Amino acid sequence: MNTDSNYSAIKQQNRLLKGVLAAVGTLSLTLVISAFKSSTSNVKHFDEIVVKKFTMIDSLGTERIRMTTDLSTGPFGGEEIKRNMPPNMAAIIFMGQTGDEVGGIGYGGTKEQTFALNGLDYTDIPLEAIGYHRFQTPDGSVAKFVVADGPRKDSGFDKKKFIEETKSLDYKNGKLGEQMKILQSQMVSRVNLGVENHNAALTLYDSKQNARIILKVDDNDEAIFEILDAKGNVVHKYSK
């Protein structure tokens, strides 16, 4: 066996292997840099974007967040349902997996009257569940937390019929249909906690939204507890 010739062959193979590894390494680095540049080349940088509406969708293409200055309608059942809102409202609206509105944050009004709203809705029905509200006028201010009654299964509300009703000419002309009447009948506040013109109060309502229990500390720092009947008459009052 010729040891010198074997050693020379091994050295030559090592040099060849090192050259191949170096070439592969250079190619890999080039590909990584190229891929990084390609991924960042699609990123746009803006100092300012001016729009009236900004929409975000999820991986399935369903609208989930809407930033807008137009709250004349709200998404429900695959349609844009007309609604009444305070003037000049700007809001961030949140949608559930179906694309129906499930809550939002809004602010608006005029120089004389300003509004701030933050609400969460019940599922499958355009009915508010919990809300924070702040109103301010020249005559005073109100800041309150409201919990509304949940939708009743035996109410007769039908989502498909409601959508069909909103497409009718009567609805567009302001005439209330059967489904809208059912919906409005369920818009009942059950708990109201807030401060109005320096009077702090907790009010509990019955299913018809009649105030039945009021716990209050008024603007004169007098503590008052009242129990009322369904007609609004005070049947028991304790103050100190």
Answer yes or no: is 76 within a domain. yes
State which amino acid sits at residue 217.
Answer: V
Residues 112 and 35 in one domain: no
Share of the chain above pLDDT 70, in %: 82
Give the closest residue to 191 by CA, choosing from 154, 139, 144.
144
Q: What one-character DSSP code corresponds to residue 112?
A: S
Of 176, 197, 218, the residue that ends a domain is 197
Give the dihedral of Cα atoms 30, 34, 35, 37; nearest 10 deg: 140
Residues 35-93 pLDDT 10s? 556 555 566 777 888 889 999 999 999 999 999 999 989 999 999 988 888 788 999 99
Domain extent at residue 109: 53-197
Give the closest residue to 211 by CA, choosing from 197, 229, 195.
229
Answer yes or no: is 202 within a domain. no
What are the φ and ψ backbone dihedral angles of 231, each rounded to 5 degrees? -95, 0
Give the closest residue to 80 by CA, choosing from 126, 129, 123.
126
Residues 32 and 91 in one domain: no
The H-or-E segment that residue 18 falls in is helix 3-41
Answer yes or no: is 212 within a domain. no
Answer yes or no: is 46 within a domain. no
Tell me the mean pLDDT in the region 196-217: 96
Tell me: pLDDT of 28 over 80: no
Region of poorest pLDDT, from 107-111, 145-149, 202-206: 107-111
Residues 57 and 160 in one domain: yes
Tell me: pLDDT of 157 over 70: yes
Residues 84 and 182 in one domain: yes
Average pLDDT, the chain: 86
Q: What pLDDT is recorded for position 3?
A: 47
Tell me: pLDDT of 135 over 70: yes
Answer yes or no: is 227 within a domain. no
How many domains are there within the chain? Answer: 2
